Amino acid sequence: MKSRFQGLRALAAGIVAAATGAFWGAGALAEDMMGQPTPGAIDLQPGVTPLRADAIFFHNAILLPIITIITLFVLALLVWVIVRYNKRANPVPARWSHNTPLEVVWTLVPVLILVFIAIFSFKLLYAYHDMPKPDLTVKATGYQWYWGYEYPDQNVSEFVSNMLPEDEARAKNVPFRLAATEPMVVPVGKTVRVLVTGADVIHAFAVPSFGIITDAVPGRVNETWFKADRVGTYYGNCRELCGVDHAFMPIEVRVVSQADFDAWVASKGGGAPAPTPSALDAAADAAGAANTEAAPAAADAAQPAAAEPAATTQPAPVAPAAK
Ligand SMILES: [Cu+2]
């Protein structure tokens, strides 16, 4: 009997060792690619923004150890009960019920664990909502089934970003179904505010390496932000089931130097950058101080750039056939 148990124990130990080896081996083998998913990888996509770093820390250093310990603890309890208190090992069961100290412990400990998680969780949530003063704004609109990007500060009117067809993706050696015909371009090290909305149904704007995902809801503008600290190309997807071509509306964000960004804006027919929000605030303050008794029209004239985008709203562009 004893030898059979030893055999089982050896088998179990072997399975655990093999599973552990496969788990960590796969992770070690796959060198994570930046800005896109890595085949065979099991961890989170690496990020290039402070928020993404915080989110990865929260997952890897807080949540993963806690869930691992709890799972192993529950497994140990189950094994203990199965081995120690089965009918053969424990033919005459105890008849008592209720144990007040034990019940207090198993109520309090989970509460304390949740409070501990909440401290880090709310800190992260606050960081997401606490956007620094943005350096530029991009409006991303989800359509069935492509994205439209508009840069109101730079007077770049909305352009369409479709999925790059397979032959072109292969020719350019870029990932098919992630690469787009027209990427969204942003400068490196700048706080980018993304205004997200939907034109027809609910989509979601998600770029894993920036750690952002925001619903694109028709008739509503949601806001998120990121500050990429590395030049590169970063891919994302629509993350809300939005129809038959939901899987074919990728997001491609190119993070470039400020000079390259300015050149890109010029190539898109954009004008000189409009005043930054802080400059607009200063202008509004100056106007408010100078025109305490003047008509509101004078204040409007003081900030034409703020009024202009609303006045030049254009109809939604029509998507060329992508496939
Ligand atoms: Cu969508």
Is residue 60 assigned to a domain? yes
Contact at 8 Å (CB) between 216 and 203?
yes
**Tens-place pLDDT, residues 68-109:** 999 999 999 999 999 999 999 999 998 989 999 999 999 999
Spell out which residues have Cβ within 5 A of ligand 1, the ion. Answer: 203, 238, 242
Is residue 298 assigned to a domain? no
Q: Note the helical H segments in the chain.
A: 2-29, 50-57, 64-84, 100-129, 166-172, 258-267, 277-290, 296-302, 304-311
CA distance 70 to 65: 9
Q: What is the distance in A from the centroid of ligand 1 to the CA of 148? A: 12
* Structure confidence at residue 296 as a pLDDT band (50, 70, 90): very low
Q: What is the distance in A from the centroid of ligand 1 to the CA of 249? A: 6
- Whether residue 49 is found in the same domain as residue 151: no
Q: Which of 211, 201, 212 is nearest to 246 (CA)?
A: 201
Q: What is the pLDDT of residue 23?
A: 53
Q: Report if pTM > 0.85.
A: no
Is residue 21 assigned to a domain? no
- Whether residue 85 is found in the same domain as residue 199: no
CA distance 141 to 158: 9
Q: What is the pLDDT of residue 301?
A: 42
Domain that holds residue 112: 43-89+99-129
C-alpha gyration radius of the chain: 28
Return the minimum-mean-pLDDT range out of 1-15, 63-77, 176-190.
1-15
Q: What is the distance in A from the centroid of ligand 1 to the CA of 240? A: 6
- Whether residue 217 is found in the same domain as residue 107: no
Q: What is the distance in A from the centroid of ligand 1 to the CA of 44? A: 22
Return the minimum-mean-pLDDT range out of 37-41, 129-133, 304-308, 315-319.
304-308
Q: What is the distance in A from the centroid of ligand 1 to the CA of 236? A: 12
CA distance 93 to 89: 10
